[in-house]
Amino acid sequence: MSAVSLGAYVLDCPDPAALAGFYGALLDWPDLAVEPGAEWATLRDPGGGPALGFQRDPEVRASTWPSRERHQMAHLDFQVADLPAQHERALALGARLLDDSHESFWVYADPAGHPFCLCR
């Protein structure tokens, strides 16, 4: 076993509870009990993988991808079995489609503007 392992990937955002709710619904991870206005929220992977953390930063600005005006710096890739079905689900949860020109992945922005991909 490595001396270092990934415990969580953390996204800065204006509203940690709201963004944790979005990703919790997208991933079908259990509901998260976080107080509105909290500075931090964590979603734990029920399968034991790394957690997703959400840290309040009221000044964070959404990426303008694909424009390089405000870089994305990093993004999350989610594997899905049925891309069209998960596309509809992501949109219903509040994601915004950025690019569906590729067969193997489509790019979205979460409600706080972070890019992520749904990948076949």
Domain ranges in the chain are 8-59, 61-120
pLDDT for the residue numbered 4 = 81
pLDDT for the residue numbered 30 = 84
8 A C-beta contact, residue 50 and residue 60 = no
Q: For the structural domain made of 8-59, what CATH number should be given?
A: 3.30.720
pLDDT for the residue numbered 111 = 97
Q: What's the predicted TM-score (pTM) here?
A: 0.88
Q: For the structural domain made of 61-120, what CATH number should be given?
A: 3.10.180.10
pLDDT for the residue numbered 6 = 87
Q: How many residues does the chain have?
A: 120
Judge if the upstream peptide bond of residue 66 is cis by omega within 30 degrees of 0. yes
pLDDT for the residue numbered 5 = 82
User: Residue 115 half-sphere exposure, CB side, CA atoms within 13 Å?
Assistant: 18
Average pLDDT for consecutive 10-residue bins of the chain (120 residues)? 84 94 94 80 92 94 91 92 96 98 97 96
Buried b (16+ CB within 10 A) or exposed e, 29-42: beebebeeeeeebb
pLDDT for the residue numbered 99 = 97
